[in-house]
Amino acid sequence: MGHEKTTDIEVMITEAITFTAKSSCMTSFENYYIQCPCCTSWLMGKSAKTESVSQSILYSDGMIVSDLLPINPQKVVLCPACAYFFWHDSQPVIQDEAQLNGFQPYPWSSWHLFGCNLLYNAGRKALINHYWHVLKSQRSLDQAKEISIRKSLLWAYNDLYRECQSISFKDFYKGKLSLRSWINLRRFNKESQRYFEAEKENFLDNLKPLIRLTEKEPDVDPAVLAELYREAGDFDKATAALSGIIRRTHFISSLQKHIKARKRHVFKVAG
């Protein structure tokens, strides 16, 4: 999905999403290299420089987006050369390109998010399918790894809804978007939402085991559990999980508001 020609609609969607994600300081990234343990190809990666991501957008499901890119590190890699799955953490990270001995590394776009282009609904669906494939094909995942994959799958589903709430008619009215961009973006968001609703059963088939596994984690943050229950539509358990929390942060009060209103979609917390 990473190599389609840029189309009008893509440009407009990018403009519109950029508008919603615009931050006062750009995130900067630094390159690094990892090697596929199966075919020894080198893959170039990018990591956000921590000092540059203060203006990121945080969502209720824990996803952080900065300058349109999710900056949560990708845990599982599908090698673009040999299609082998491996855990990012299992491979040493190299900063110095000289150690590649002239090998041309595969670009980040070829493996980041499995090469899926999230500016297309087809890319968003493909990302969901990739995570399902990882879950089904990787036998004997330990608890931490299964949580990590299921969480990534939850994020991939929520990507279908993530920006939908950010655009309103006011943006056209205030001249921030052209009418054409606004109409196209609305159509794009509607299609995303329709797919999300059609996938509801599969969404829950992932979320329920994720909740069971998270409950078993030592020192689990009750706010994280409350958010998972809320997204599963179990508002009583979400309320119960939150009841023991004394701290009153912006996130906790937003979460309470959404639980009270019985809203289960991902929402923007800050940014």
Site residues, Zn ion (CB under 5 A)? 36, 38-39, 41, 79, 81-82, 84
Q: Which is nearer to Zn ion, 74 or 193 (CB)?
A: 74
Angle between helices 200-216 and 179-198 (to 10 degrees): 70
Output the CA torsion sign for 152, 154, 160, 166: negative
Residue showing tokens 């020192």: 219
* Cα 189 to Cα 165: distance, rounded to the nearest angstrom: 9
Q: How far is the CB of 91 from Zn ion (least distance, A)?
A: 11
Q: What is the DSSP letter of 140?
A: S
Which residues, other chains included, contact 153 with Cβ-Cβ below 8 Å and sequence gap of 6+?
128, 131, 132, 135, 206
Output the CA torsion sign for 38, 42, 47, 49: positive
Q: How far is the CB of 94 from Zn ion (least distance, A)?
A: 16
Q: What are the tokens at 260?
A: 């009270």
